[in-house]
Structure 1
């Protein structure tokens, strides 16, 4: 088991991690961050899980961006400038930034270091946890043929719906092999409604554009630095300053959608192509979004909502039928593509919990549209809700 390795490329990560890393390097190079594993599903981990995981991440310190990968990024992501790509060429994972411990069947994972360095750990660690867990408990997934035919069936279904879909499943994949298999099916027919994958490594392998928005940590840091009430707005303005509208989808639920829309002023609503829905009732969110755009005199039919919250074909059908002739829906499908293998899926997240600037550590919180998805210390969550009148 000591040769177990699931991360073979530095690009085997979500696209938004690199775009956020670039922005953090440019705007907040001295800020530090702490992240922790949150075991929402109360999963029990097998014996030696932490030790095998440590061996696995130690191997990651050898990964480096290859010349071919750098050329791919230059061509497919022109908004990532040469200074950032030169930085990434020299970047290497430092396993000392990650501490993993196990007591009985519980594991603890903590990441700490400069934010621009530690930002890349979350997604590969989640992918390792998922693959290693299934391997160590001896879980057998359905045969490859079943995964291929199931993915093809979903594609036929999405084609009939006339919706645009992307693959967002790296962090909760059953295995690297399954994600590779699924993307092979998704890309081989060159279907116009498949818009790409959030995984930059697979984007390179299959010659497709990487896709993505931002993570909650981008806005959570802004809340710690500038205040909860204006975090969304300043985070959006900083994103615009870095990317000049090129990466035009913004995340909407770090401090609930109602707070987001208060920050989403006319200038920002015009500049950004659309918003991402990641928690709460999608229909209520669609109605709120349309109302917001109409109030500002903006045609919602020219704007996009990217849906990414635990999507299934049935859910996509339901949402897309409601969006018809109202607003443009895109769907980022994760677990249902990369871990639909006949086994229970895991419910884990790794979230930023503290950030360090102005000589002190500050706790950060996320107040999702759904309470179960909120993260942070209990007393800080109560205080945040009080401050925001939620």
Structure 2
């Protein structure tokens, strides 16, 4: 596909940004099924949060065009082929990952209303309703805002300027792939849906990874691309689950137990499959120190904030202290990765654990320095659950720059979870 020509000829109007309800991350569907079963009546509010205040989204993106794209998403439903793929495919070696009652509900789903308001140079975009319904807005909402920003920058470019831009971006990615394929034992996946440059570009990046890395490329988190390209759909769970479970806790004691109740429900939901721990919602070290022994038997851990090497060393020491062999465990690195860091971590932990990598924004949206003023550089945009049944949610993270929630609740959570001083790390993506 000649992406530059398609961009120029149609000025993007022919291409809806989100083409399908499964143009989303696999872990959203897995979590949605768990919520559908375990917390069907929980009311949750999601909100868009632009951490990069220097990117004035409301000045760049026309409100009418934004509403048009959001309204299009509300018109989407599962196609017969998509439903067949979800019902009949094998995921992580398991057939019928998605139960019939969940699939029957999902086949009838239309996303609930959204609430959009301009506040200065930013948009306030929120979604309110039953948790298992509104949670499905997160990924498409982010994809829409990210791609509309890209379109705003590209809109005034000429045909040859666009060709040169995409040729440079393609060359940059291929040079990264050439460096990565030299790594023996590498395992890497595409985690770049939520902050991609565009759907067409993500699909191109995945095809480049398939050709360039072969068996070292494990798959993609994007369900639509996984189906289209006959790849493994990759993903387990995210911070959303412990954030909401914790907000529902009635006491400090219940709050302290909440992150483990999440994983207990998850274990039951998936019959012992998909056993990857995401420990950093309220601080990795404290989470592992207080973890019940049965969690040590899980397959591995995903590192998603803070110093990745430090987080991995903490996990290795924890496994050793619980009588587990770290060499049999998997560590998935997934926070703001690019080639240099991937190579460094691969070399540091090769042979000590089963290291793998979820490569996100700097795979699917690395246009840094390719446009005057760096107007296509990726930025940090998230869509998070901010309240559950009227109570605020909190995320502490291993990096305080990613913390969110009311100040008094953040202090309470720090006390309950024993979080001390943390090192601030600049958030790029």
| Fold equivalence (TM over 0.5) | yes
Query: Are residue 176 (structure 1) and residue 209 (structure 2) matched?
Result: no
User: What is the match of residue 110 of structure 1?
Assistant: 126
Query: Are residue 279 (structure 1) and residue 301 (structure 2) matched?
Result: no
User: What is the match of residue 351 of structure 1?
Assistant: 384
Of stretches 338-347 and 11-20 in structure 1, the one that deviates more from structure 2 is 338-347
Query: Are residue 44 (structure 1) and residue 56 (structure 2) matched?
Result: yes
* Superposition pairs of residues 184-203 of structure 1, within 5 angstroms: 184-188=207-211, 191-203=214-226
- The aligned length equals 383
C-alpha contact (below 8 Å) 2:50/2:381 kept by paired residues: yes
C-alpha contact (below 8 Å) 1:302/1:328 kept by paired residues: yes
User: What is the match of residue 264 of structure 1?
Assistant: 291
Secondary structure, counterpart of 1:109 in structure 2: strand
* Superposition pairs of residues 225-240 of structure 1, within 5 angstroms: 225-226=248-249, 227-240=254-267
- Given the superposition, is the C-alpha separation of residues 232 and 56 from structure 1 closer, same or farther in structure 2, using an over 3 Å criterion? same
User: What is the match of residue 123 of structure 1?
Assistant: 139
User: What is the match of residue 333 of structure 1?
Assistant: 359
Query: Are residue 57 (structure 1) and residue 70 (structure 2) matched?
Result: yes
Cα offset for 1:3?
6.6
User: What is the match of residue 70 of structure 1?
Assistant: 83
Cα offset for 1:137?
3.7
Q: Matches of 2:192 and 2:90 in 1, distance apart?
A: 20
TM-score, normalised by the number of residues in structure 1 = 0.93
Q: Matches of 1:300 and 1:58 in 2, distance apart?
A: 48
Secondary structure, counterpart of 2:302 in structure 1: strand
- Given the superposition, is the C-alpha separation of residues 102 and 180 from structure 1 closer, same or farther in structure 2, using an over 3 Å criterion? same
User: What is the match of residue 329 of structure 2?
Assistant: 303
Q: Matches of 1:192 and 1:3 in 2, distance apart?
A: 34
Secondary structure, counterpart of 1:121 in structure 2: helix
User: What is the match of residue 227 of structure 2?
Assistant: 204
Cα offset for 1:242?
0.0
Q: Matches of 1:386 and 1:91 in 2, distance apart?
A: 40
C-alpha contact (below 8 Å) 1:134/1:174 kept by paired residues: yes
Counterpart among 143, 147, 151 of residue 173 in structure 2: 151
- In the alignment, structure 1 segments of 5+ residues that lack a partner are none
Q: Matches of 1:176 and 1:59 in 2, distance apart?
A: 15
Q: Matches of 1:83 and 1:14 in 2, distance apart?
A: 21
C-alpha contact (below 8 Å) 1:301/1:328 kept by paired residues: yes
Q: Matches of 1:215 and 1:50 in 2, distance apart?
A: 30
Of stretches 138-147 and 75-84 in structure 1, the one that deviates more from structure 2 is 138-147
- In the alignment, structure 2 segments of 5+ residues that lack a partner are 1-11, 371-375, 420-429
Per-residue CA deviations over 1:101-130 (Å, capped at 9, x if unaligned) read 113422111111100100110111101001
Per-residue CA deviations over 1:279-312 (Å, capped at 9, x if unaligned) read 0111111111111001111000000011100001
Q: Matches of 1:206 and 1:143 in 2, distance apart?
A: 25
Per-residue CA deviations over 1:224-264 (Å, capped at 9, x if unaligned) read 23433222211111100000122121211100102220343
4+ residue runs over 4 A deviation: 1-4, 139-142
Q: CA RMSD in A?
A: 1.8
Q: Matches of 2:20 and 2:340 in 1, distance apart?
A: 34
Cα offset for 1:265?
2.6
Secondary structure, counterpart of 1:195 in structure 2: strand
Q: Matches of 1:263 and 1:13 in 2, distance apart?
A: 33
- Given the superposition, is the C-alpha separation of residues 51 and 101 from structure 1 closer, same or farther in structure 2, using an over 3 Å criterion? farther
User: What is the match of residue 374 of structure 1?
Assistant: 403
Q: Matches of 1:243 and 1:30 in 2, distance apart?
A: 21
- Given the superposition, is the C-alpha separation of residues 263 and 17 from structure 1 closer, same or farther in structure 2, using an over 3 Å criterion? farther
Counterpart among 100, 110, 132 of residue 82 in structure 1: 100
User: What is the match of residue 10 of structure 1?
Assistant: 21
Q: Matches of 2:50 and 2:62 in 1, distance apart?
A: 15
